Amino acid sequence: MKTIDDFNFEGKKALIRVDFNVPLDGDFNVTDTSRIDAAKPSILKVLEDGGSAILMSHMGRPKGKVNPDMSLSHITETVSDIIGVQVKFAEDCVGSKADEAVAGLQSGEVLLLENLRFHAEEEAGDESFAKELSKHGDVYVNDAFGTAHRAHASTTIVAKFFPENKCFGYLLAKEIKAIDKVMETGEKPVTAILGGAKVSSKITIIENILDKVDNLIIGGGMTYTFVKAKGGKVGDSICEDDKMTLALEILKQAEAKNVKVYLPVDVLAADDFDNGANTQFVDVDKIPDGWQGLDAGPKTLEIFKQVILASKTILWNGPVGVFEMENFAKGTIAVGNYIDEATQSGAFSLVGGGDSVAAVKQFGFEDKVSYVSTGGGAMLESLEGKTLPGIAAILG
């Protein structure tokens, strides 16, 4: 696996695919800089070697048309502040404006190209567009895990124009190693905690990880599909009736592979999907009509705690309750605390997937786990066992 450390960039231009698809407020201020922070080490490596960096990224979904609200010019100052170098901006990513800006770039300088998705050819994976992009650099560095699952011009196709001079940036290399640690080389026992609303969105992940894990903790909304499938009463809880047979099949597969599955035994139920609703703790299979389970209960959390603290490798994908509402966030916070404790005791913990990453950030667990993945869809596809095109393009 070639990484950025395998190259010396002295006198060279590095074409770096970053993921600067960051959230902006109404005044175009960046509200979360974590993706820019994550790209900083790779950019600095190029500059410290005596090279220059040409950064390319997308923002939003402009659908192949120029949309000033999604211009990367809005983030240039923030990127400059974070990297510590005044970043130059090119008003396009290909064509004369981009070519001139690249040609004038000196060693130690950074250039940010305009939004790749202002060109429909980017998402189409157009080869001639990728070739135009490739002319900007001597070495291609992919450091955008968040888009590695898409075969776009800048993430995948461009790599073929750098047969020998392509590599992973620090961030993407770390993502690959973190997932590999959970899926292939992790110290046992390995525990996966899967939450979220629907079984259907996690099916392929569950099927793929059953060969890799010792324990599977199931929480959140998909709990109730399993509980109802086993004959329990789930009241008005979210439930995918058409996935109940599948849920039973998963439990059967897990048993055949000696994977211990832990479902909640009690839940905090509410009489409305509202933070101010009336609540009561009930057995997970005896939820009254008109009530719905919205968080894990105390007996459940005690079981989860024992499993997590005995684990050496932990994957957390999805909250165990409706953490966006304060009264139903206690279970997710508790799981975060258990993972923190296990990590301090030497376990490796990987958090990935949109909602669990949001919860980790909201409750301050970012520095208390081993690794927080930056790629939602890319992370999920990796866990499903798929080879991501952006990764395959560097390895090939």
150 belongs to an annotated ligand binding site: yes
Catalytic residue among 12, 377, 385, 386: 377
Is 126 a known ligand-binding residue? no
Q: Which of 198, 233, 260, 286 is catalytic?
A: 198
Give yes or no for a contact between 193 and 365, defined as CB atoms under 8 angstroms apart: no
Q: Which of the following is catalytic: 88, 233, 299, 354?
A: 354
Distance in angstroms (rounded) separating the CA atoms of residues 206 and 194: 8
Residue 134 assigned to a binding site: no
Would the annotation count 20 as a binding residue?
yes
Known binder of ligand: residue 252?
no
Q: Is 275 annotated as a binding residue?
A: no
- Asked about 35 being catalytic, the answer comes back as yes
17 flagged as catalytic: no
74 is in an annotated binding site: no
- 385 labelled binding-site residue: no
| Among 35, 45, 243, 368, the one annotated catalytic | 35
195 marked as part of a ligand binding site: no
Query: Which neighbouring-strand residues pair with 112?
Result: 55, 89
211 among the known binding-site residues?
no
Q: Active-site residue 95, yes or no?
A: no
CA atoms in the 13 A half-sphere facing the CB of 72: 28
**17 in a known ligand binding site:** no
Binding region:
19-21, 35, 58-61, 117, 150, 202, 293, 324, 353-356
Q: Summarize the annotated binding site for substrate as residue ranges.
A: 19-21, 35, 58-61, 117, 150
The catalytic site residues sit at 35, 198, 354, 377
Binding residues for ATP: 202, 293, 324, 353-356
Q: Which residues are annotated as a binding site for (2R)-3-phosphoglycerate?
A: 35, 117, 150
